[in-house]
Every structure is written in C-alpha cells, then in structure tokens.
Amino acid sequence: MKTILIFTVFFLIICSKSFSQAKEQPKLVIGIVVDQMRAEYLYRFQKNYSENGFKKLINEGLNLKNVHYNYVPTETAPGHASIYTGTTPANHGIIANNWFLRDKNKTIYCVDDSLEQIIGNETVNNKSIGASPRNLLASTFTDELKLFSNKRSKVIGISLKDRGAILPVGHLADFAFWYDERTGNFVSSTFYNKKIPNWTSSFNAQMLPDFFLNKTWDLLLPIEKYINSNNDDVTLERIYKGKINATFPYNLKQLKEQNGGYRILAETPFGNTLLTDFAIETIKQEKLGKHSDIDFLSISFSSTDKVGHDFGIRSKELEDTYLRLDRDLARLITFLDTQIGKEKYILFLTADHASSDNPDFLKEVNVASGFYDTDSLKTYLNNKLFQDFGINNCISYMDNTQVYVNNQVPDKQKLLAKTEEYLFGLDGIKNIFIPSFKNQSLLNNDLGSFIKNSFNHNRSGDIYIQFYPGWMRNLKYGTSHYSAYNNDTHVPLIWYGGNIKKGESIKYYSITSIIPSLSLSLDIPLPNEASVIPIEELFH
C-alpha cells in the first residue's frame, strides 16, 4: 500500500510539472519590419541607443545574427511577401515592387487593384487606382491564423507604404492601413471594408502630420556623439528644394510645400513616430491581445528606407533616424509590456532587405564599383538585335536585374543567346542567367539557387543579370538595394516576449524560416507554400 501511495504521489508531481511547463499561448503577435535595415545597424549605432529599445530586444530576446534573403531582387514588396508567406517570389508571385505584363505591354505595381478604391482620403479627388493583396499567390501566416480561429482572430497591418501594410496580412485581414502622402491620413481599401473605422477617422482628425511638419528636424544628440557616420556636409546626399546643402537642421515647415507636401514627413524619422502613435492607437481601439484567440499586428517602419535612399547608409541623417526609431520602439515595447504583459505577446523584428554603399563613395575609398543605366542598356541591345533580326524593340522591358524579350520575335532561343552574348561584352556584368536554358551550369551554383527562388514563370523576365559587387543603377544621391550580395541580403532578426529565452545564434537561416517557426510554435497550420525549416533555437 505504501509503495502504491508513493508511486501515485510521484505520478501526480510529474503530471503537475508537465502541465505547469506547458506553454501558454500568447494573446498577440507583433511582426515588425524595419525597411532597409542592415543587420549591422544593431551594433554600429548601439552606443547611442536607449536601454529600452533595440538594446532591450538584444539583451532580453533571441538574436539571430546570420539571417539572409535568398532571392533577387531584394526589394520592399518581395521582402514583406517572403517574410509572411514563408516562401520566395517563385511561389508567392511578388517578384519585385513592379513587374512587366507581357500581354498588356505595361508594368504593374505589386498591390494595384482596379476593382477596389482607397478609403479614408475623401478630402481629395480620389481617382487613384485601388489596392489589395490579390497579386499575392500564396497564403500568409495571418491567413492561416484567420482560418484556424474561424476568423475570430483580429489581423491588422500598418505602414507608411501601402505594400508594407497590405502584403504582410494576406487575404483575410480585417484591415490594412497606410499613410496617404496627399492628405496625411491613414487610409485603407474597399477590399477590407466600405469605410475606415470611426476611431481611424478620429485619429486622422487630429492632423498629427501637421504637428510634426511644424517641427525642425535636428540631431537628437550633440553632433560629437555621432561617431559612426560621415560628416554632415558631404556630397552624395539629397538636397531638399529650399536648401543649399544637405545639412542639419531641416525646417520642415519651410520645406514642406516645395518638397511634396505631406510626403516629406515619410522622408524624416517623424514618419516612424507617427506610425508608432498609430500602432498604439490600433492596439487600444481594436483591443488587440484582449480576445480569446490570438491577434496579429504587422508594423512596417518605412522612413528608414526613404532616408537611406535620400542620404545613404553612412549619413548623419540615417544615424539620427535610427536613434529616433530606437526611442519609438522603446515607447511601443513599454506600452506592450505594461498593457498586454511581456509574457502574453510575441514580437519579432526584422527587415525587408538591407542596403549597399553608393558606388561613388566606394570609389573614394578604393573599392571596386560602378554604375549602369538600364535605359541605355535597353537602347544598346535593341540597336544590336535589330541588326540581327530586323525587328524593332527586341527588348520589351528592363529593370535592375531582369530583361524581358519580345515574344513576337520568331526564334526566341536565338534572341536570348544573342542578348546574352552582347551583355557579356559590357562592363560590370558578372553573370547572365537564362532560366529557360535548363542545362545552364550557372544555375547549379549558390547564386543560381537565388534565381530558382526568384523565377516565377508567368511574371519574371527571360534573363537575369548579375552585376559585380559595388555596381548599381545610376544614382544622383543616396543609395539603393536589389542585389544578391550580403550588403543587401543580411538583415536582423530578434524574437522577444512570451516564453522566448534570451540568447543569440550565428547559425545561418533564410528569411523564410520566420513563419514556420511562428506556425509550429503556436500550432497554427503552415501557409500553403511555406518552408518547413524553423529556427531551432526557438524550440530549445
């Protein structure tokens, strides 16, 4: 009898421990994308970060230090789509921000939708085309979450950019909101509802953009603390109309009208501050994290990208933008920790792509680099190919990485071969990839796998061009991104909250491992095209 009693007590203790250690599902998942954030920004600017923003995530979260994109081009739309579908452009179909429609002989923007209208900007003559996720061919984590909860979960995406709000939250979201550069309002699409919620109208009525645009953008800290960026007065930076150089301070009230009106706000760190205000209001008004099922909020900070494009990755403007974003993140995290509870939400932070140095800057520091011009390349190729085929416009369209040839040319394979021959004779070109040439040995190397991950039969170009590192499409100032090199592929990834144990890892992961990790940890079905390779460190 005593033996039976001891065994029974032991069994109950074991069961008690098992149940007490069973994971508690979070009430809210927050996905944060910092547009154009290089992984190194976590460390290059760290000395001037506050204790409760990026540093808090690094010190208390799981920091994956070797996360990369695995396709080209590395741009905003395919970046957001790849994060949240868990797959690459070959499968989800968002192959770039824009792509060429052969049957209509024109380009299409990734979230354009003529069947829908924009809502929330009724004060302007609204003739612009609508927006939706219809061009997204794969399901997202949030689609599966909606289906799993029988649509009880609330799913909302917000960003300054429409594509940064729409693509993350897929086809079943309650709403996606983005910043309208004509009105300063947060707007949405009839794809989600016939009108925006009353609370969004009330938020817009505060006209916070006017408040920010009455400010002067000056350095947050004394200039001598900005030791990890170039001098303030340098070339290769955008000079706003109304200024004679690209130096602090920026009187936004004076600059607004000459520089796109409300658009200029998104090109300053105050755009991120506005989005943080809107994120907190969204959580409050939609009661995210207060329901019986898991809710989801996607936040995409876009001002970092716009400042990077305008001023470059080594500018005082960019460093200041990250210091201010750090304070905005601290405000958001503090709100979440106090109002939701750290143990009741999960947050991940990553980027949709990274960025590269301006080739002119690289030349100054003796690094090989150069520029190319797609319009000139297209003209050159069409002139050469006309001599071979006697047909005008053998090249229909070119972008930073792809060439679309004219399908009306009778011998397409010969056309592709001649185009490849002429391209290889030009400076700056390292490799040419032609997916239809199935036996092409180049497709078997590491970069070839990037092309396989990128190529969508119905949407992609016929030829992929790989330029050498340091080469970029012509720029007057700032910088850009779209290559398959580490400069553009290496991004941060930090997990925080819930039952996530702090730590760091240098193991390589692709960006497509985020969603299988989230799905498997929350017992939500994987999106239909998602990778099945999760981040192992999250499950230790």
Q: Would you identify the CATH topology of the domain 370-468?
A: Gyrase A; domain 2 (3.30.1360)
Q: Known binder of ligand: residue 97?
A: yes
Lowest mean pLDDT among 124-138, 160-174, 482-496: 124-138
Answer whether residue 43 shows pLDDT above 80.
yes
Question: What confidence tens digit (pLDDT) does each residue in 513-535 have?
Answer: 999 999 999 999 999 999 999 99
Looking at 3, 8, 74, 76, which residue is catalytic? 76
pLDDT of residue 374: 96
The rounded mean pLDDT for the chain is 94
- Packing angle of the helix pair 374-389, 412-424 (nearest 10 deg): 130
For residue 532, give Cα distances in angstroms to 87, 115, 313, 495: 10, 35, 34, 19
Q: What is the pLDDT of residues 448-506, one digit of tens each?
A: 889 999 999 999 999 999 999 999 999 999 999 999 999 999 999 999 999 999 999 99
pLDDT band for position 365 (50/70/90)? very high
5 vs 118, higher pLDDT: 118
Question: Measured between alpha carbons, how far is 75 from 72 in angstroms, rounded to an integer?
Answer: 8
Question: Average pLDDT, stretch 72-94?
Answer: 99
pLDDT, position 122: 79
pLDDT at 8 exceeding the cut of 70: no
Please give the average per-residue pLDDT across 365-370, as a whole number: 97
> 279: how many CB neighbours lie within 10 A of its CB?
25
Query: What is the CATH architecture assignment of 28-296+303-336+484-491+513-539?
Result: 3-Layer(aba) Sandwich (3.40)
Which residue's entry shows tokens 């920004």?
Answer: 41
Catalytic: 76?
Answer: yes
* pLDDT tops 50 at residue 4: no
pLDDT-derived band at 209 (thresholds 50, 70, 90) equals very high
pTM: predicted TM-score of the whole model, two decimal places: 0.94
> SS3 for 39-85, per residue?
CCHHHHCHHHCCCCCHHHHHHHCEEEEEEECCCCCCCHHHHHHHHHH
- The yes-or-no verdict on residue 231 having pLDDT over 60 is yes
162 carries a ligand binding annotation: yes
pLDDT at 23: 64
Structural contact between residues 88 and 453, judged by C-beta atoms closer than 8 angstroms: yes
498 and 30 Cβ atoms separated by less than 8 Å: no
State the pLDDT at residue 2.
Answer: 39
pLDDT at residue 398, as a whole number: 97
Helix (H) or strand (E) holding 383: helix 374-389
Max CA pair span of the chain: 100
Mean pLDDT of all residues in 324-343: 98
Specify the pairing of strand 402-405 against strand 395-398.
antiparallel
Tell me the three state secondary structure of residue 216.
strand
State the pLDDT at residue 46. Answer: 98
Quick one: average pLDDT of 20-33? 82
Give the mean model confidence (pLDDT) for residues 352-370: 98
pLDDT band for position 439 (50/70/90)? Answer: low
Q: What is the pLDDT of residue 540?
A: 82
Is the model's pLDDT at 422 over the cut of 80? yes
**Does residue 11 register a pLDDT over 90?**
no
3-state secondary structure of 464: strand
The pLDDT, as a whole number, for residue 3 is 40
- pLDDT-derived band at 91, boundaries 50, 70, 90: very high
pLDDT reading at 18 higher than 60: no
* Spans of all domains in the chain: 28-296+303-336+484-491+513-539, 370-468
pLDDT of residue 32: 99
Better pLDDT: 439 or 295:
295
Q: How confident is the model at residue 361 (pLDDT cuts 50, 70, 90)?
A: very high
Per-residue confidence (pLDDT) for residue 20, from 0 to 100: 33
Of 5-9, 201-205, 442-446, give the lowest mean pLDDT range.
5-9
> Closest by alpha carbon to 350, among 66, 28, 6, 23?
66
Lowest mean pLDDT of 14-23, 111-120, 464-473, name the range. Answer: 14-23
User: Is 161 known to sit in a ligand binding site?
Assistant: yes
- The arithmetic mean of pLDDT across residues 78-83, rounded, is 99
